[in-house]
């Protein structure tokens, strides 16, 4: 049996806190534990969000597996796919991209088809985002026949409604994918296309297809109509080269979703879409596929894994293809490191390496600079031999000795203040003291109250969130991130997860703009 799994991992560098268990001691990395939990011979990951310079050895080299990566060449932390094969399913060839522009000519797959409708710039742009990775395996059927099987691991583009050029890019990618897959079929190779196709094919694959305008007229769905056979209406429609493996086994299964909105918490009520597929050519599906499955219980991403089981055995290659990450210079031990150049002088002499010796003039100049620095850094002695002490604060309030010595003018003497005041009786002094203390206390109290009210107004925090109309529960605040006149504005929505409209426990669609403070 051959078990294949595909998963949009949404970032391989934060691997998957959602598996719900700790890494056992016999697993060297978290990723190895993830692969073992998925229990597949071949694991295809999408949206790895890692570039070549950020790929670390624990992600690139996993014990018991050989891995292959395709990186985004233009934007960091974006896109990217990876395929991990058990050593018992080592491919005979591997290749990055669909166009062949990134083929190494050493272990590539070939069979590119007619791509004359694309320019070289378009082909390079389509493959520069790290969205496709091909591995070719040798399989043996239950009849004992050996056939080549090519897995195309794809992360298809998303068509942002605000960027029409991305829809054009997406359709070009679809077209290039179909050309390459059909060329491989024409060469006598079995083909599996698996990954995130970023399109829900049928209304049964979308949670709210009825509310979408022209659902069937979407360009991506029309392309899938031409790629995937409609098993229900096969007699009336043309026979497409591929079959959706999940719908082959479960044609009427509803709410079989693989992707959910994280912002609205839609996964809690299973309100999403099915955009992750395992497609196989007709002969392969009918003759060898035993089952197809979804794994919605596996957390850690906004997608869940999908997969299939084939009644074939894999014949591993004796050596990994050149694209394997273990052959990269930084992981194969062939890349020179900076520490290799910084060896002690004695070791360099033993190895016979030339050691640079400074000239006599350079040594003299260096000694002069050191001596000059020592002279300049010595503290200068004060003339007179006495150190000047720092004045105390009270010394500024004492009469100046120089003024008494140099001034001959006799200042008029004023009478003492005590002689100008008439003494008051003790009772009046006591009353005056009590009044003064009460006045001071009231002033201090008033000042504290003013300060308290001020800080309460400053640190009062935001106003309480309004209650939604459907459940009378506090709302959550969101911020507009879409470019436009409302960019940056805050608003309140119902805090409950998004779900079917007839479900009273789902979001009530309450919306309220936050007033500026």
Binding residues for Mg(2+): 8, 47, 196, 198, 302-303
3-state secondary structure at position 93: strand
Instruction: Report d(CA 246, CA 204) in Å as an integer.
Output: 12
Which of 33, 190, 206, 303 is an active site residue?
303
Token pair 């070549």: residue: 52
3-state secondary structure of 17: helix
Q: What residue numbers does the annotated binding site cover?
A: 8, 47, 196, 198, 302-303
Which of these, 341, 338, 274, 335, lies nearest to 303 by C-alpha position? 274
The residues near 346 (Cβ < 8 Å, ≥ 6 apart) are none
Residue 347 three-state SS: helix
Q: Name the catalytic one among 65, 68, 155, 492.
A: 155
Question: How far out from the chain centre does Cα 79 lie?
Answer: 10
Of 509, 506, 498, nearest in space to 468 by CA: 509
Q: What is the enclosing helix (H) or strand (E) of 314?
A: strand 313-315
Rg (CA), the chain: 39
Report the candidate in 153, 172, 260, 273 with the shortest Cα–Cα distance to residue 220.
172
Q: Nearest Cα to 493, choosing from 469, 516, 474, 510?
A: 510
Are 192 and 147 within 8 A, CB to CB? no
Separation of first and last alpha carbons in the chain:
63
Torsion from C-alpha of 478, 479, 482, 484, nearest 10 degrees: 130
Residues 6+ apart with CB under 8 A from 446: none
Q: What is the 3-state secondary structure (H, E, C) of 448-460?
A: HHHHHHHHHHHCC
303 belongs to the catalytic site: yes
Distance CA(309)–CA(163), nearest Å, equals 38
Smallest Cα–Cα separation from 158: which of 124, 187, 127, 198?
198
Q: Could you tell me if residue 253 is left (phi over 0), alpha (psi between -120 and 50 degrees) or otherwise beta?
A: beta
**Is 360 part of the annotated catalytic residue set?**
no
In the chain, DSSP finds a helix count (H) and a strand count (E) of: 13, 18
The encoded tokens of residue 184 equal 């491989």
- Active-site pick, 41, 108, 127, 196: 196
Alpha-helical regions (H) of 208-301: 219-227, 245-249, 282-288
Q: Which residues contact 305 (CB under 8 A, 6 or more apart)?
A: 5, 6, 7, 38, 294, 295, 298
Dist. CA 240–CA 263, nearest whole Å: 37
**Is residue 375 among the annotated active site residues?**
no
Alpha carbons 438 and 428: distance in angstroms, whole number: 16
Query: Which residues are identified as catalytic?
Result: 155, 196, 303
């Amino acid at each position: 049996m051959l078990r294949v799994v595909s998963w949009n991992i949404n970032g391989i560098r934060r691997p998957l806190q959602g598996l719900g268990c700790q890494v056992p001691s016999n697993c060297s990395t978290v990723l190895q534990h993830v692969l073992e939990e998925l229990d597949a011979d071949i694991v295809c990951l999408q949206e790895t969000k890692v570039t070549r310079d950020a790929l670390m050895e624990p992600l690139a080299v996993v014990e018991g597996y050989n891995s292959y990566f395709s990186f985004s060449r233009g934007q960091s932390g974006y896109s990217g796919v990876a395929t991990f094969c058990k050593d018992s399913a080592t491919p005979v060839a591997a290749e990055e991209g669909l166009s062949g522009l990134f083929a190494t000519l050493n272990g590539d797959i070939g069979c590119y088809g007619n791509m004359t409708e694309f320019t070289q710039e378009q082909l390079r742009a389509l493959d520069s985002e790290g969205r496709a990775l091909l591995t070719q395996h040798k399989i043996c059927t239950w009849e004992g026949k050996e056939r080549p099987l090519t897995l195309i691991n794809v992360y298809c583009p998303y068509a942002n409604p605000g960027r029409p050029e991305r829809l054009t890019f997406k359709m070009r990618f679809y077209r290039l994918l179909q050309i390459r897959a059909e060329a491989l079929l024409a060469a006598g190779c079995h083909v599996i296309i698996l990954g995130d196709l970023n399109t829900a094919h049928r209304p049964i694959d979308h949670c709210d297809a009825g509310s979408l305008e022209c659902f069937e007229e979407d360009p991506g769905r029309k392309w899938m109509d031409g790629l995937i056979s409609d098993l229900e209406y096969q007699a009336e429609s043309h026979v497409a080269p591929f079959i959706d493996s999940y719908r082959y086994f479960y044609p009427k299964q509803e709410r079989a979703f693989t992707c959910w909105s994280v912002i609205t918490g839609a996964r809690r009520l299973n309100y999403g879409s099915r955009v992750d597929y395992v497609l196989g050519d007709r002969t392969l599906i009918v003759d060898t596929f035993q089952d197809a499955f979804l794994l919605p219980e596996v957390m850690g991403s906004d997608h869940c894994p999908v997969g299939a089981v084939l009644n074939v055995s894999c014949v591993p290659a004796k050596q990994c293809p050149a694209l394997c990450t273990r052959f990269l210079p930084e992981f194969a031990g062939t890349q020179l490191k900076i520490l290799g150049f910084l060896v002690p002088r004695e070791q360099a002499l033993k190895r016979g390496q030339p050691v640079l010796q400074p000239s006599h003039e350079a040594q003299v100049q260096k000694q002069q600079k050191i001596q000059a620095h020592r002279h300049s850094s010595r503290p200068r002695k004060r003339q007179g031999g006495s150190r000047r002490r720092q004045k105390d604060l009270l010394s500024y309030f004492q009469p100046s000795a120089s003024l008494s010595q140099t001034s001959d003018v006799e200042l008029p003497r004023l009478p003492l203040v005590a002689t100008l005041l008439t003494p008051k009786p003790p009772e009046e002094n006591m009353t005056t003291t009590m009044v003064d203390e009460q006045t001071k206390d009231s002033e201090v109290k008033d000042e504290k109250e003013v300060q308290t009210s001020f800080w309460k107004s400053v640190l009062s925090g935001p106003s309480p969130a309004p209650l939604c109309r459907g459940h009378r529960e506090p709302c959550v605040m969101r911020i507009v991130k879409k470019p436009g006149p409302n960019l940056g504005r805050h608003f309140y929505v119902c805090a409950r997860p998004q779900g079917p409209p007839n479900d009273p426990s789902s979001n009530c669609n309450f919306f309220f703009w936050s007033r500026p403070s």
